Chain A
Amino acid sequence: MCENRHSSVAALDPQMRDIFFSEVAHVLLSIETMLQQPTCDWQLRSVFRVTHNMTGAAQLLDVSEVWLPTHALETLLVAMLASDRQPTQKEQVLLQQGYDLVRCSFDAWRANELVPPPQSYKDRVEKYIDSLKSMDTAKQAHCDTEMNQSGQQEESQ
């Protein structure tokens, strides 16, 4: 039910628009701060929360130009939080690209200009998450093999 609808800035109620703009400014600042120190776990959680909030606000206002890239960035942050380790260089690059896309998309939408399509970034995030899953599966298979081998050794002793 994620319909791809659009709301222009001009169509928004001024009070609603101000609330949304304020939220976006807060989120962009949070991400900028985190990008300067991406290894801090609490910042990652905090940025995930504000990004999630921004997605929700943009969805309520039907601003798909903003919520689609923000949601893609949120998906990356969920995967990073689940990995429970320091962000890799690849993740930092994807974070920076996500931030750039969200900022460009918001600025373009606000100026009523052509908004960059989020699909390419979304594909990169999904591909990266798939690679994490493959690594987890390979790691699990390796652990299972080691456990089986150690079990067999114990039995033979």
Chain B
Amino acid sequence: MKKIVIIDDSPSVLQLTKTRLESAGYLVTAFNDPRHFEPAKLDTQDLIMVDVNMPEFYGDDIVSYLREELPVPVPIYLFSNISESELEKRAKDCGADGYFCKTLGLETLIESVRLIVGA
């Protein structure tokens, strides 16, 4: 079973995304506070999704941090509802592998995740 980590401060967004990804067959670990995960334990994940606008952190900074701390490369994607052009730029600048637009909905997200990590 493919493993996915989501980092997002919104409890409802976390719950909705986790529930839908799990129903699609993924094993999901959700964090609503970036301080609660240990990068060293994320190296067995197949995908990491990071929200951009959180109260105390920007997802971009977390991605940059993870890029340095993760012992092995894991695909990291920004996950936000900011405009797609800004999201694309921020993903590129922070070294993320790509981005997911919340505005496109959960079904589009599932399709994108399948393309990235497989079913």
Contacts and interface: CB of A to CB of B under 8 A. Distances in A.
Contact of B12 (A3, A5, A13, A19): A19
A156 interface: no
A interface residue count range (under 10 / 10 to 19 / 20 to 34 / 35 or more):
20 to 34
Interface of B: 8-13, 15-17, 19-20, 23, 53, 55, 81, 84, 101-107, 109
Contacts, number: 62
Given A57-B13, A60-B13, 13 more contacts: A1-B101, A1-B103, A3-B104, A13-B20, A13-B23, A19-B16, A52-B53, A56-B8, A56-B13, A57-B12, A59-B105, A60-B102, A62-B105
Contacts of B10: 52-53, 56-57
A50 B42 CA distance: 29
Interface in A77-114: none
Q: Is the interface of B mostly helix, strand, loop or mixed?
A: helix
Closest 5 CB pairs of A and B: A53-B10, A23-B12, A57-B12, A62-B105, A56-B13
Contacts of B101: 1
